[in-house]
Amino acid sequence: GENVEQHPSTLSVQEGDSAVIKCTYSDSASNYFPWYKQELGKGPQLIIDIRSNVGEKKDQRIAVTLNKTAKHFSLHITETQPEDSAVYFCAASITGYQKVTFGTGTKLQVIP
């Protein structure tokens, strides 16, 4: 089955700096890669996703990149703000209607 690895497990950045979280996956059939943000005491929130026919996607301060050949994808957050502090999960699936396999999570702390 699919295996998703995520690094780093914790990340501290100064407010205004950029943060990068990296994930690798094992199943070449996976073609949908969502990213979730989970704040304390809440359920995961879908913040951005990318499909295999796209190499990069941006939404304001957030961008994702995908390298299907190398089987890795990354989340980039620019101009970080304290409200970006949360746990971020990457995930992979063949389609959203099929099993979504999650990475181990990255706890991001943005220091004011």
Partner 1 sequence: SAVISQKPSRDICQRGTSLTIQCQVDSQVTMMFWYRQQPGQSLTLIATANQGSEATYESGFVIDKFPISRPNLTFSTLTVSNMSPEDSSIYLCSVGDGAYEQYFGPGTRLTVT
Residues 39-78 that bind partner 1 (CB under 8 A): 42-46, 49, 51
Encoded amino acid at 45, one letter: Q
What CA–CA distance (Å, rounded) separates 25 from 13? Answer: 26
Asked if 72 and 79 count as a contact pair (C-beta separation under 8 A), the reply is no
Contact by Cβ (8 Å): 85, 109: yes
* Contact pattern for partner 1 over residues 85 through 104, marking x by CB under 8 A: ----x---x-xxx-xx-xxx
Judged by CB under 8 A, the stretch of 11-19, 22-30, 35-43, 66-74 that binds partner 1 is 35-43
Q: Which residues bind partner 1 (CB under 8 A)?
A: 32, 34, 36, 42-46, 49, 51, 89, 93, 95-97, 99-100, 102-105
